[in-house]
Structure 1
Amino acid sequence: MNLTVGDILALPGLEALRLRAGQRHCHRPVRWYYVAENEGIADWVMGGELVFVTGINHTRDEANLLRLLQEGHQNGIAGMVILTGEAFIHAIPDSVVAQADALGIPLIEQPYMLKMVIVTQLVGTALVQRDSLLRSQREILTQLLTGDYPSIELTRQRASHLQLTLNRPHRVITLRLSGIPALFDNAPPDRAEAQLQAARQALRQALEERLATLPASLPLVTLGELFILFWPEVDAAFLDGKAWLGEMRQSLSPSLQPLSLFCGLSCTVTQAHHYRRGLGEARRALEVAESMRPDKGICDFSALGVLQLLTAIPDQELLNRFMKETLGPLFATNRKHPALLIDTLEAILQENGNVIKAAERLGIHRNTLNQRLQRIERQSDHRVNDPQWRLNVSVALLIWRMSHAQQQEFL
């Protein structure tokens, strides 16, 4: 995994560094380090930096240090290191320590006697080494996900050498930000791009922070617009992971707007050469989450039932044609509510043919429901209680919901 604040504190040669606040957040991944030479840092950090504050070029009084923490929090820094000694910043004020704790920012004190050149060299070297390892690990995982590897035995050998733990059950989880076309349609390109990259960085940081808390976790992988996690399925770890995904999606929602986050989960993957299947399942579950369950935002492929079969059919036109042939006669383009009869039929199926409960579900009188059922049978040329037609309708309704077809014309 990425080098964390805690990893940096444990580097040989940096024993003089002292953690003053934010101990619970030392698992934050460090993307790089930044030495603050300006009065503020908001324009100079992108998220994930370990910020060093020296006080050499600017007066670093209590107010300025508090401001730096606030700007760092808003921009997602990994942590802050404040150099203390006789020359510039004599001591870290208690208010700064308290604010770092309140904001969840690891705050580290570095004595001036520990030379900055030594610290940055050790940190920079460790970051480069870890980045090189991560690139190789992600290369192996990408090969397994795409099926593009020379041989499974060689891939396993490389994975073992690169400290990748593949011999335990995992779920493949795909995450994607939705609404990107609308973002660029409604904002100037430069502002839309900035919003997109800020959202992606916020998501990446949240995912990597969580992965850093898992023992022997596999690194985050990106394929195009997809973020891909490998979540261990041992004991209650996966149930905790599903709960965390929902909580993360909710907590990130304000910072991601106008984009939305959707997640798809595969069935359990127990062998390295099955990761490709896991990715396919997770992607199909992601499509269902986005099209059929936007309020929840998360879909588990193992819970899809017959949708597992429908999402595996590559010929989308075949599915659409079946849906149109089955439901098309009930769709009225010239009416205020063109899908009225389809919604009525769906209510009948959901209530197992119980007319009273279906009428209650729709909020209409039973006589009104009976009139609609007569129209359905007349226009479809099928009896509602015909078991074969009910099966066809059930499948067609799933395709309709899955493909956003309710937003399109049938014919």
Structure 2
Amino acid sequence: MISIESLNQINGLETLQLRAGKQGERNAIRWPYIAESTAIEEWTKGGELIFVTGLNWNWSTADFICLIQKAQQQCASGIVLLTQSPYLESIPNEVLTFANEQGFPLIEQPYSLPMVNVTERLSNAIIMDDLNNKSNRWFLQHLADTPHLSEIDLLKAKELGIAPCQSLSVAFINLNNIGNEGLIKVQYLLRQFMANEGVEFPVCEFHQGWLAVMPMTQSCSEKIEKIWNSLYQILSKQGFDCSIGISDAHDIKGMYNTVSQAKQSADFARANHKKQVVHYNTLGISQLFTHINSSHILESFCHQYLGDMFNKNDAQTITLKATLQCYFDNLCSIRKTATALNIHRNTLSKRLDAIEQISGSNLDNAQQRLSIQIAQLAERFIR
């Protein structure tokens, strides 16, 4: 990965100097962009290294600070300022201080180093790095799509630095209503997130979502879940409507099943509007629903025990379903349910009677009560 800290290791770019914002030195560089003014919103999608030559604009200290703020909002990787030029002799101290406060990388480029050389060498390095990582992304997709790995697959894993017996945490990221420009930004955010966590596994597109893998040990399983939750917060903060499902693989041989479980968890989270990361192990009985290939089976079961409440979302049905859910959550206690719903016990009893009439189920019968509870879970899943 080409990052801020590796920028001056590219042949010919040794004179580039990081002057401020060292906290962001691991920022990945997706592509160079030359800014002629502070109006960069329309042209930046995330991961750009922004170059400022000083041409065609009389840059002030306030302009530089404004550019840093906008670059952060656009998830740019850093800013390069050309100095020792007729347009800018040196970087103002106020700008350096602000960049340090924001933790945003500010790089100095001597005017004597031709801009065309810098952008050409940087672009070539990015392209070569992407080509080198393509095989890693392909192999991760292969692991996720292959039920039974061969000995050659295990050897390939070792070549790529993946220990065959390494335990892995797998995340499947579902993104809703996202366009091409959003995809570019998401790809950068995911890649940057993994880099910040010190994970070398690539992130790849997979079955209309994104697949990310992180090594783990038993002692850090709770920490791993917090890490995936922080990814959810980052994506949400950037305005992306997403759901993340995760699962664990004891080794790479279990990747196929684990990826399937992570995807099912993400689908479940989206169907149930859960604004959090959902681990496959927390699905409980809903795990069974994920293995039923025919939705007609679930629909038939739901209709049998929910009756005309199934697949309806009018105000009355929503109230009855919410009441039923609260009734189950409170272990079928009339008193606790009425208190939780802030209604009179007589009102609750009338609602439960209505539920029995519509569903045809008897809530006093343990077997039928369990069936209607499962049907309500299944309805949310298939929806």
Residue 213 of structure 2 is aligned to residue 233 of structure 1: no
Query: C-alpha separation between the residues in 2 aligned to 1:332 and 1:222?
Result: 32
Which SS does the other structure have where 1:81 is aligned?
strand
User: Equivalent residue for 2:77?
Assistant: 78
Which SS does the other structure have where 2:263 is aligned?
helix
- Aligned runs of 1:4-403 on 2, under 5 Å? 4-11=3-10, 14-36=13-35, 38-40=36-38, 42=40, 43-56=42-55, 58-116=57-115, 119-147=118-146, 152-164=150-162, 167-178=165-176, 180=177, 196-234=179-217, 237-253=220-236, 255-256=238-239, 260-266=241-247, 268-292=248-272, 294-328=273-307, 337-377=316-356, 380=359, 382-403=361-382
Query: C-alpha separation between the residues in 1 aligned to 2:186 and 2:269?
Result: 18
User: Equivalent residue for 1:191?
Assistant: none
State the shift of 1:280 in Å.
0.9
Question: Percent identity, aligned pairs only?
Answer: 27
Letter in 2 for 1:101: N
Which SS does the other structure have where 2:316 is aligned?
coil
State the shift of 1:366 in Å.
1.9
Query: C-alpha separation between the residues in 2 aligned to 1:201 and 1:90?
Result: 35
State the shift of 1:345 in Å.
3.4
Task: Work out whether residues 264 and 289 of structure 1, in 8 Å CA contact, stay in contact via their aligned partners in 2.
Answer: yes
Which SS does the other structure have where 1:317 is aligned?
helix
Which SS does the other structure have where 1:212 is aligned?
helix
128-137 or 55-64, which deviates more: 55-64
Query: C-alpha separation between the residues in 2 aligned to 1:204 and 1:40?
Result: 24
Question: Unaligned regions of 5+ residues in structure 2, if any?
Answer: none
Which SS does the other structure have where 1:46 is aligned?
coil
State the shift of 1:376 in Å.
4.4
Which SS does the other structure have where 1:27 is aligned?
coil
Q: Which string of whole-angstrom CA distances, capped at 9 and with x for unpartnered residues, describes residues 235-282 of structure 1?
A: 6655344334434434543542xx51111112x112223222122111
Which SS does the other structure have where 2:373 is aligned?
helix
User: Equivalent residue for 1:183?
Assistant: none
Q: How many residues align?
A: 382
Query: C-alpha separation between the residues in 2 aligned to 1:221 and 1:307?
Result: 27
Distance 1:307 1:5, change over 3 A: same
State the shift of 1:401 in Å.
2.2
State the shift of 1:365 in Å.
1.8
State the shift of 1:175 in Å.
1.1
Tell me the TM-score normalised to structure 2 length: 0.87
Query: C-alpha separation between the residues in 1 aligned to 2:57 and 2:102?
Result: 24
72-81 or 195-204, which deviates more: 195-204
Task: Work out whether residues 46 and 76 of structure 1, in 8 Å CA contact, stay in contact via their aligned partners in 2.
Answer: yes
Letter in 1 for 2:370: L
Question: Unaligned regions of 5+ residues in structure 1, if any?
Answer: 181-194, 405-411
Letter in 2 for 1:72: A
Distance 1:164 1:117, change over 3 A: farther
